[in-house]
A and B are shown apart, each in its own frame.
Chain A
């Protein structure tokens, strides 16, 4: 279970997070929505222990990430899978080598077993036949699927997705969300997905949280956010120009 308590973070005096608190129960997938450039990815990196908060705590099954160092932090991080916005595949390795990398480095599987697992997960994300291609030789959608395969291949307990559909056409975007949904059902991970795919993403998550001005404005099941009377939430969901959210 992920618990975030009163998280604060500033960069050069700019307050990005100002007391963020919410929880994600075991096996639950939460969609984190909010305006672009207002700290959703920063919040996700706090959850992964990549950024330390100025104040507040991130607890994973009761363990405060802020107190973990060295080997213990490495062990905790290996429980995570993270799909970055641009995939963050190693560009000097092929798709197969990228997906095999965490298995080679973190497990004692034989080469045969690694090959079997990698080919199986690549098949699952629809990348059979692309295993010998380099990240620069495949499309954006394939990069995200390869990144998803690399994260899932170790069967992580917690999956974090940072805008996995940004920059993709709607069809590919929805296919990626369906893939996340099927993987969530199969692997039963706990997850947070930062997304702007509204309302499509609401079909695959159990909860939605909206980050606004450094705080969590609402945490609710998807139906709750669609029927919310909060003017900020309503404007954001409907994408209206008129309302309390001022675009400059």
Chain B
């Protein structure tokens, strides 16, 4: 009974360890192929269009409302201490250091990460990946590397758009609706927000870009058979990416700031 339990635990641990190792090798291979020719610039551009450009609307909407709600909540909290003049820096720092990178990464995970897994997963189960290999082509260069590079380029830009739109949303609520002075809102923001904060946000976005592509492509590439396999892989990719974004965000915050 006990031996059977130990065997089962051992088997589960080995499976987990094997999966982690395979994921690590997957990322390593992606970076090796990303840094060695031939480079597929047109495919990178296609992916920037899909991951970056086509995410702008959703980033715009979530950024605007995140900034607005932050301003609303911040105003009532700061008002208790008579510090509404600090509303601008509060909104800006929250967005630049945390919400911008995290929210934009979560939005990209939901919109583009799931699509990456589904597309690569369907290519796997319909033998399109094998067809690529039999043309003497490397599937990593065609499927993973362009998405990886596109995410690394797109995520910081999307996060920057999120921040700008969010700050403007905060301005509409804080200054236009609740009466905070426009000079206070932007003036204090300039005093309190440092380059270090901006860089921290960029580092986070870059890391999240790698993370989303890594998890999403891996789950698609090693999907199990059938429509159910692809559906399961897509769900796993979104859930795992979202959880890992939050975990990585905590550790990066504790190191960077």
Query: Could you tell me which A residues sit within 8 Å of B by CB distance?
Result: 45, 48, 50, 74-75, 77-78, 80-82, 84-86, 88-91, 101-102, 105-106, 154
Partner of B130, one of A50, A75, A78, A106: A50
Instruction: Type the 1/0 row for B125-145, where 1 means its CB is closer than 8 Å to any CB of A.
Output: 011101101111110000000
Q: B131 touching A77 by the CB < 8 A rule?
A: no
> Smallest distance from the beta carbon of A45 to chain B beta carbons, Å?
7
Q: What 8 A-B pairs have minimum CB-CB distances, sorted nearest first?
A: A78-B136, A88-B127, A88-B131, A102-B135, A82-B134, A74-B136, A84-B127, A77-B136
In the assembled complex, which residues on chain B have CB atoms less than 8 Å from the CB atom of A81?
134
Specify the chain A residue showing the minimal Cβ separation from B137.
A105
**B residues 115-174 touching A (CB-CB < 8 Å):** 122-123, 126-128, 130-131, 133-138
Specify the chain A residue showing the minimal Cβ separation from B136.
A78
Q: A75 touching B136 by the CB < 8 A rule?
A: yes
Partner of A80, one of B122, B134, B137: B134
Number of A-B residue pairs with CB-CB distance less than 8 Å in the complex they form: 50
The count of residues in chain B whose C-beta lies closer than 8 Å to any C-beta of chain A is: 13
Known A90-B128, A106-B136, A106-B137; 4 more pairs at CB < 8 Å: A74-B133, A77-B134, A82-B131, A102-B137
In the assembled complex, which residues on chain A have CB atoms less than 8 Å from the CB atom of B137?
74, 102, 105-106
The CA-CA distance from A80 to B134 in the complex, in Å, is: 6
The CA-CA distance from A12 to B127 in the complex, in Å, is: 21
> Smallest distance from the beta carbon of B129 to chain A beta carbons, Å?
9
Specify the chain B residue showing the minimal Cβ separation from A50.
B130
Specify the chain B residue showing the minimal Cβ separation from A80.
B134
In the assembled complex, which residues on chain A have CB atoms less than 8 Å from the CB atom of B127?
84-86, 88
> Smallest distance from the beta carbon of B134 to chain A beta carbons, Å?
5
Q: A77 touching B133 by the CB < 8 A rule?
A: yes
In the assembled complex, which residues on chain A have CB atoms less than 8 Å from the CB atom of B123?
90
In the assembled complex, which residues on chain B have CB atoms less than 8 Å from the CB atom of A84?
127, 130-131
Q: B134 touching A50 by the CB < 8 A rule?
A: yes
> Smallest distance from the beta carbon of A119 to chain B beta carbons, Å?
20
The CA-CA distance from A102 to B130 in the complex, in Å, is: 13
Partner of B135, one of A45, A86, A89, A101: A101
The CA-CA distance from A74 to B126 in the complex, in Å, is: 21
The CA-CA distance from A77 to B128 in the complex, in Å, is: 15
The CA-CA distance from A86 to B126 in the complex, in Å, is: 7
> Smallest distance from the beta carbon of B47 to chain A beta carbons, Å?
13
> Smallest distance from the beta carbon of A65 to chain B beta carbons, Å?
12
In the assembled complex, which residues on chain B have CB atoms less than 8 Å from the CB atom of A75?
136
The CA-CA distance from A84 to B133 in the complex, in Å, is: 13
Q: A88 touching B138 by the CB < 8 A rule?
A: no
Sample (16) of A-B pairs whose CB atoms are under 8 Å apart: A50-B134, A74-B133, A74-B137, A77-B134, A78-B136, A82-B130, A82-B131, A88-B126, A88-B127, A88-B131, A90-B123, A91-B126, A101-B135, A102-B137, A106-B135, A154-B135
